[in-house]
Amino acid sequence: NELEELKKRLQDAKLSPDAEKVAQRELQRLQKMNPAQAEYQVCRNYLENLAEIPWTKMTADQLDGKTLVRAKKQLDDDHYGLEKIKKRLLEYLAVLKLKEHANRDIDVEIKALTESETPTELQDGEDTEAPKEPSHAQLRLLEKKRMVDKSPILLLVGPPGTGKTSLAKSVATALGRKFHRISLGGVRDEAEIRGHRRTYVAAMPGLIVNGLKKVGVANPVFLLDEIDKLGVSNYNGDPSAAMLEVLDPEQNHTFTDHYVNVPIDLSKVLFIATANSLDTIPPPLLDRLETIQLSGYTTLEKRHIASRHLIPKQITTNGLHSENITIPTDVLDKIITSYTREAGVRNLEREIGSVCRSKAVEYATAKDMEALDNYNPIVTMDDIDATLGIEKFTEELTEQHARPGVVTGLVAYSTGGQGSILFIEIADMPGTGRVQLTGKLGDVLKESVEVALSWVKAHAFELGLSASEDVDIMKNRAIHVHCPSGAIPKDGPSAGLAHTIALTSLFSGKPVPPTLAMTGEISLRGRVLPVGGIKEKLIGALRAGVERVLLPEGNRKDVRDLPEEVRQGLRIEFVGNIWEALGLVW
C-alpha cells in the first residue's frame, strides 16, 4: 500500500506527459523489486521527488486591476528613495501584466481554433486518442505565445546593503507569489545547479528543482542572489552554462535537471538576480539580463532610511515599543558618520541594533526594579560612546596639512560600490630620472602617471618650472609616486588629472588645499577626459569633508542626476583641459 499511496501522489501531482511516461516505467520496476534491495530506495526516492515537483500548480496570480497600485504601495512602504529603480520595477510589472492578458487571449484563440478544427465525424472513430498534428494556424499561435512569454530577467546590481534582496522580496509580496532565494555565491559545481545523475550514490536534484519543491508552485519568484560570485568553468563543469539554460527564455521551458532527467518548464518562474558588480558576470549570462543599477546612499538618505525603516524594525526586533526609545537626529548622524562607512545601510542597521539592545537591557532592568521613573528613553551621545565604543572613523581631511606634491583624488571601488578620497603623494629626491610607483597600482594607473609626467616635462617652461625650453626637469632627480592605503589594489586612468596637478605642485613648491579633490583622465595633449563612478566618488568626497571638486567637462551630465545634498554640499567645477584645471587650483 506504500506503493498505492505513491501512485496516488503521482497522480495528484499532474505530471507532464514526459514525466508521466518515466513515472509509469519506474513504478513498474518498483513493483518487481524487493524492498530490501538498495535499488528499491533509490527508485522510490526518485518517484517521490517527481511527485513533489510542482508541475502545474500555481499561485493564483494577483495580476488583477489593482496590481500596479498595490505594487507601488508595497515598494514605497518598504523602501525610502530609489525612485528610478521603483519606476523601472513598476514598468516591468506593468509589462508582465499586459503579457498575461495577451497570453489569455491567445489561449482563447487556440482553444477556439482547436474546437473548430476537430472534425465531428471522428467521434465514433477508433483513434480519437491519437495526437493530432497541430495545424499551421495553431503553430503560429503557439509561436506567438512563446514570444509573449519571453520576459526579460532583471538584474539588480549595486553595493552591499542597498536594498536589492529586499526589493525583490517586495516584488514577490506585491504579486502575491511565493518567494525563494537561491544563493549562487560560491557555487563551483554544475551539479549543484542541475543535480547529480541518478547513478551517483546519494544523488539529489539541484538548487532549481529543490527550490521548486520547497515553494510547491510553478510560478514563484526566484531570487538568484550573488550571480556575480558564481564559479567559472572548471573540472566540475560550468555552473554559468547551467545558469544560462535556466535563464534563457528559448530554453528554460525545457530545463533538464540531471537527477530528474525529464524536462521541467521554468517559464512561469519570475527570476530576479542580484550582484555587487558586473565585472565578474560571464558576458553570455549578462547578455540575458536586464540590469538595474543601484548606487550608494548619501548621509541624508541614510538618515531617512534609518528613521523610517531601520529604527522601527530594530525596535520591534528587540522587543521594545516606540515610546521606550528615541534616537535624536544628532545622535543618529553621529552613528552614520563616525561608526559606519559603507555605501549601503547594513552596518548602520547593525549599530542601531546594538543601541536598541543596550536600551532594552536598561529598560528591562528598570522595570524589574520598579524604577521606570528613572529610565530615560532618549539615547544620548554618551550612550553611543558606551555601547558602540570609540569612533571608528574620523574625517581624514581635517587632519591633513597642505604640502607640495600631495593631491586629493577620488576613487570608486568596483567591489562594494564605495567611493572615497585617495591621497596621491609624490616626493622627489636626487637621482637620474627614475620614477618609482608604490601602493599596489595597476598597469593602467601606472601608465597614467607616465602620461602626466610627460605632459609636465613637455610644458615645464610654460609652467614656470624650468628656466628654459630645453632643460629636462627630471635630469638630476628621481620621483616616487605613492597612493595610500598601500594594500588596496587600485587601477584605472581616472587619477591622471590628480597626478598632473601633484607633479606641478611638487616641482613648483606650491601646495594644493586638501579639501580640493579632483578626478579625470588626461590625454598626452592635455585634454581632460570623462571618467566613471561620479556618483560614488562625489558621495565619498562629501562624506570625507571635501569642499571643492574638479570634474571633466564630459561628466557634466552625470552631475545632473546627483542627489540634491551632494550638489549643494560641494562646489563642483568642470574643466576641459589641464590648463583650465591649473587656473582653478592656483
- Sole window of 44-52, 162-170, 194-202, 488-496 interacting with Mg ion (rule: CB under 5 A): 162-170
Catalytic status, residue 537: yes
Length of the chain: 586
- How far is residue 521's CA from residue 531's CA, in Å, rounded to a whole number? 7
166 contributes a contact to ligand ATP by CB under 6 A: yes
Cβ proximity to ligand ATP: between 56 and 166 the closer is 166
Residue nearest to ligand ATP (CB): 163
Does position 165 bind ligand ATP by CB under 6 A? yes
Task: Considering the complex, state which of residue 305 and residue 585 has its C-beta at the smaller distance from ligand ATP.
Answer: 305
Q: Least distance to ligand ATP from the beta carbon of 321, Å?
A: 20
Pattern 328-367, ligand ATP, x by CB under 6 A:
----------------xxx--x------------------
Q: If contact means CB under 5 to 8 A according to the sort of partner, which of Mg ion, ligand ATP, none does residue 213 touch?
A: none
Residue number with CB closer to ligand ATP (191 or 345) = 345
Give the residue with the Cβ less far from ligand ATP, 221 or 497. 221
| Residue in 13, 71, 82, 421 binding ligand ATP, rule: CB under 6 A | 82
- Grid coordinates representing 552 are 571633466
Residues 83 and 174 sit within 8 Å (Cβ to Cβ): no
Cβ partners under 8 Å of residue 438, min gap 6:
480, 481, 482, 483, 486
CB of 136 to ligand ATP, least distance (A): 48
The catalytic residue among 170, 295, 494, 505 is 494
User: Cβ distance 533 to 558 under 8 Å?
Assistant: no
Is residue 176 within a helix (H) or strand (E), and if so which, with residue range?
none
Regarding 164 and contact with ligand ATP (CB under 6 A), the answer is yes
Closest CA to 274 of 258, 253, 290, 256: 290
On whether the CB atoms of residues 167 and 75 are closer than 8 A, the answer is: yes
Residue 530 interacting with ligand ATP (CB under 6 A) = no
Q: How far is the CB of 353 from Mg ion (least distance, A)?
A: 18
For the bound state, the minimum distance from the C-beta of residue 283 to ligand ATP, rounded and expressed in Å, comes to 21
Could you give the residue ranges of the DSSP H alpha helices within 248-298?
283-287
Angle between helical axes of 67-78 and 164-175 (0-180°, round to 10): 150
For 81, list phi and psi in degrees, rounded to 5. Answer: 65, -140
Member of 10, 44, 51, 161 binding ligand ATP (CB under 6 A): 161
E strands, 178-276, where?
179-183, 221-225, 255-256, 263-264, 270-275
Within 10 Å of residue 36's Cβ, how many Cβ atoms? 7
Q: How far is the CB of 259 from ligand ATP (least distance, A)?
A: 29
- Reduced to 3 states (helix: H, G, I; strand: E, B; else coil), residue 572 is strand
Asked if 160 is part of the footprint of ligand ATP (rule: CB under 6 A), the reply reads yes
Residue-wise burial string across 291-306, b where 16 or more C-beta atoms lie within 10 A, e elsewhere: ebebbbbbbbbbbebb
**Binding status of residue 165 toward Mg ion by CB under 5 A:** yes
The pattern of x and - marking residues 472 through 511 that bind ligand ATP according to CB under 6 A reads ----------------------------------------
Distance CA 478, CA 390 (A): 42
Lookup: cell for 24: 509509469
Residue 305 engages ligand ATP in binding (rule: CB under 6 A): yes
Question: Toward ligand ATP, which CB reaches closer, 175 or 343?
Answer: 343
Binding flags for ligand ATP, 259-298, as an x/- string (CB under 6 A): ---------------x-x----------------------
Does position 307 bind ligand ATP by CB under 6 A? no
- Residue 279 grid cell: 565585472
All three cell numbers of 479: 620621483
Residue pair 419/539 in contact (Cβ under 8 Å)? The answer is yes
Which residue, 276 or 519, has its beta carbon nearer to ligand ATP? 276
Which range touches ligand ATP (CB under 6 A), out of 77-85, 126-134, 445-453, 577-585? 77-85
Single out the segment in contact with ligand ATP by CB under 6 A; choices: 4-12, 75-83, 386-394, 552-560: 75-83
Q: How many residues contact ligand ATP, by CB under 6 A?
A: 19
Find the shortest distance in angstroms from Cβ 251 to ligand ATP.
27
The residues that bridge with 292 in the sheet, in sequence order, are 156
Does residue 314 contact residue 356 with C-beta atoms inside 8 Å?
Answer: yes
Sign of CA dihedral 463, 465, 469, 471: negative
> Measured from the CB atom, is 165 or 251 closer to Mg ion?
165
Nearer to Mg ion, 276 or 298 (CB): 276
Stretch that binds ligand ATP, among 140-148, 154-162, 184-192, 515-523 (CB under 6 A): 154-162
| Partner interacting with residue 81 (select from Mg ion, ligand ATP, none; CB below 5-8 Å by kind) | ligand ATP
Residue 485: cis peptide before it, omega within 30 degrees of 0: yes
Longest dimension (CA), the chain: 110
> Counting contacts by CB under 6 A, is residue 88 touching ligand ATP?
no
Check residue 162 for interaction with ligand ATP (CB under 6 A).
yes
302 binds ligand ATP (CB under 6 A): no
Nearest partner of 526 among 474, 481, 580, judged by Cα: 580
Catalytic pick among 169, 178, 302, 537: 537
Q: How many helices (DSSP H) and strands (DSSP E) are in the chain?
A: 22, 16
Q: How many CB atoms lie within 10 A of CB 316?
A: 12
Q: What is the 3-state composition of the chain as percent helix, strand, coil, each rounded to the nearest 5? A: 50, 15, 35
| 155 touches 291 (CB < 8 A) | yes
Interaction between residue 80 and ligand ATP (CB under 6 A): yes
Closest approach of Mg ion to the CB of residue 164, in Å: 5
For residue 145, give every residue at least 6 positions away whose Cβ sits within 8 Å of its Cβ, in sequence order, or none. Answer: 103, 106, 107, 110
Which residues in this chain contact Mg ion in the complex, by CB under 5 A?
Answer: 165
Report the interface residues with ligand ATP, using CB under 6 A: 79-82, 160-166, 274, 276, 305, 309, 344-346, 349
Residues catalogued as catalytic: 494, 537
